[in-house]
């Protein structure tokens, strides 16, 4: 199968076998393009991977940061991508000449982490994918929960600050967890610190012409820079406020944190864990584990391939 993780900033495509081994990867950037360009980028990346293989591809699975009507295969609305009411499954299937399955990107990420990864064996799982935005995936009693139409579990759009900053993209809300704890929020906070503290590592990087990104913050933090570590601690604390709510609501065994921002590791997760310990209710707070995704930033791509494997198997047995 080919798995596609279509993010708000970049695209990752991989050819995945039934043992989850990845045989070829392709990367593209997806930020700042219109819908037609985005579809062309997707087709080009999938074609590259397909042509690099010496075996046939059975299907393509897509994880997209979007409200998805799975029955009709429609991408209804994306906050951080130019997608609205697009018959994504049929368009991609026609252009690629292959069967296509689609789901929300965090749904496929939690699928692979619960089946094979950091939450293997757990029946109640919350997953957050931290990238351009914050995706949410839920496993309830062993099954991925999608809501009545497939648009459920948008955990990044839970409001944690009623009069907080405007959420990003096309979200109409204010103070969403995504607005204060995503990769974009991390970069904004780091830029603020860099401008306010020119003598800091972040300030020196800004003065040296480097773009202040989440990846740079993580790099400097791992190198010991106090300003970068403080920014990660702030984002981790905000993340912990959101996780405490999910722990109270869902009583999960495991909360898995994935996406590109998880490269910060415990510099992000330890403040989140401490906040959950302070804010969540017993006994849930004492039982839950808050862990990084086993498959890291590739959870979405691998999960999309797993979704394709499972849906094709279901079709063959139907």
Q: Read out DSSP for 34-58?
A: -HHHHHHHHHHHHHHHHHT-SS---
Specify the pLDDT at position 318: 56
- DSSP H helices, the chain, are 35-51, 88-96, 105-116, 177-181, 183-196, 201-207, 214-222, 226-250, 266-279, 284-287, 299-317
The pLDDT of residue 291 is above 90: yes
Stretch 176-202: mean pLDDT, rounded?
A: 96
Report whether 213 contacts 87 (CB < 8 A). no
Two structure tokens written together for 185 = 């929020």
Specify the pLDDT at position 148: 86
pTM of the model: 0.91
For the CA atoms of the chain, what is the radius of gyration?
A: 19
Residue of 263, 190, 183, 267 whose CA lies nearest to 7 = 183
Give the pLDDT band of residue 234 (cuts 50, 70, 90): very high
Stretch 54-70: mean pLDDT, rounded?
A: 92
- In the block, tokens 């993209």 appear at 169
Between CA 227 and CA 202 the distance in angstroms is 7
Specify the pLDDT at position 187: 95
The pLDDT of residue 206 is above 90: yes
Domains with residue ranges and CATH for the chain: 2-104+298-317 (3.30.420.40), 118-293 (3.30.420.40)
Give the pLDDT band of residue 316 (cuts 50, 70, 90): low
Residue of 135, 171, 154, 139 whose CA lies nearest to 63 = 135
- In the block, tokens 């070829």 appear at 24
Specify the pLDDT at position 31: 81
Report whether 88 contacts 218 (CB < 8 A). no
């Amino acid at each position: 199968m080919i798995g596609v993780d279509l993010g708000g900033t970049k695209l990752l495509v991989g050819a995945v076998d039934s043992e989850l081994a990845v045989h070829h990867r392709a990367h593209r950037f997806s930020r700042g393009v219109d819908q037609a360009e985005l579809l062309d980028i997707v087709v080009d990346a999938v074609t590259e991977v397909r042509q690099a293989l010496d075996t046939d591809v059975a299907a393509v699975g897509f994880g997209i940061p979007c409200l998805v009507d799975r029955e009709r295969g429609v991408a209804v609305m994306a906050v951080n991508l130019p997608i609205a009411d697009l018959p994504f499954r049929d368009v991609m299937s026609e252009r690629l000449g292959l069967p296509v399955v689609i789901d929300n990107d965090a749904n496929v990420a939690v699928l692979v982490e619960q089946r094979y990864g950091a939450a293997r064996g757990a029946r109640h799982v919350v997953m957050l994918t931290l990238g351009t935005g914050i995706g949410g995936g839920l496993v309830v009693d062993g099954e991925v929960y999608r809501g009545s139409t497939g648009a459920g579990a948008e955990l990044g759009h839970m409001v944690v600050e009623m009069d907080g900053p405007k959420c990003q993209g096309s979200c109409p809300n204010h103070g969403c967890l995504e607005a204060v704890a995503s990769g974009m929020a991390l970069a904004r906070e780091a830029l603020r610190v860099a401008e306010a503290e020119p003598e800091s590592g972040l300030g020196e990087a800004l003065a040296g012409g480097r773009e202040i990104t989440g990846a740079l913050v993580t790099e400097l933090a791992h190198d010991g820079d106090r300003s970068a570590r403080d920014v990660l601690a702030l984002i981790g604390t905000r993340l912990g406020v959101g996780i405490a709510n999910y722990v109270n609501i869902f009583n999960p065994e495991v909360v898995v944190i994935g996406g590109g921002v998880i490269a910060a590791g415990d510099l992000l997760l330890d403040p989140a864990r401490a906040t959950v310990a302070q804010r969540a209710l017993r006994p849930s707070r004492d039982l839950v584990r808050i862990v990084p995704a086993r498959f890291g930033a590739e959870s979405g791509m691998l999960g999309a391939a797993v979704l394709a494997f499972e849906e094709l198997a279901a079709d063959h047995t139907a």
